[in-house]
Amino acid sequence: MLPQMSFSDVCRSNSGVKLKASAEPPALTREPKSDKQESIMEMGNGCDLFNEMKNNFLSFKKHKYMENLELFQALSKGQAPKFMVIACADSRVCPSNILGFKPGEAFMVRNVANMVPTYESGPSETNAALEFAVNSLEVENILIIGHSCCGGIRALMSMQDEVDSSSFIRSWVIVGKNAKLSTKAAASNLSFDQQCTHCEKESINCSLLNLLTYPWIEEKVKKGELSLHGGYYDFVDCTFEKWTLDYKGSVMEGKNRVVVKNQSFWC
């Protein structure tokens, strides 16, 4: 019977575990591992991941934190970001890496499919972050970033029924139902993949309109104190599209259709 081992014990002996495993005769290595052996090896792999994370942190401390100590000391006293960024939780989409935001420059919230629910939808972590960013931090820009191959949008486009209370994902992505309806109306002749791409961008615009349902956001936009922007990152081709909501034009359209300005394409 194997002795009980703690996670730290496995970390300290991880290299030994690998060495013993590789030294076993071929016939033995083909035999199914016991649950205990599987557990030890999984914990060992976890240690490798955290060792890499540790090295990354120490490198950050040495080359970024210590070399910009004055900046980080100032940030320890408070933050005054110019941007709030709403992005997808997708691991392939990191706004700081893509757009070069430095610490203190952007207040961020990430959720499935980078969606913004309406004011009337009630509390969520996204509108809590909006309230803090707009009313307390007084950001000057809100940027919603969508992206290619979005699983949340694909789930939305695949839904047969509007509500499935047994699925947290379905209950969340239904926030984008207007984008789905617009896509079905405008792109019904396209393939499903092409419809998903269309909806990825349409969903950003629907979320921009949803931002205007928050009274304290619309008031600041109307006064010119806050600008609302959309962005779309295509990580297949590594391109980025950016546009800004034209508030006056959108209001004249009855807030059912986004009118944009200052469009640009970065490639």
Residues placed in the known binding site for Zn(2+): 88, 90, 147, 150
> How many whole angstroms separate alpha carbon 118 and alpha carbon 211?
7
Kindly tell me the burial class for residue 40, based on how many C-beta atoms sit within 10 Å of its own C-beta (0-12, 13-18, 19 or more): buried
Q: Which residue has the tokens 């070069």?
A: 100
Q: Which residues sit in the known binding site?
A: 88, 90, 147, 150
> How many whole angstroms separate alpha carbon 187 and alpha carbon 191?
9
- Alpha carbon dihedral 142, 148, 151, 153, in 10-degree steps, equals 60
The region that residue 215 occupies, defined by phi over 0 for left and psi between -120 and 50 for alpha, beta otherwise, is alpha
Contact 143, 130 (CB under 8 A): no
Contact 141, 101 (CB under 8 A): no
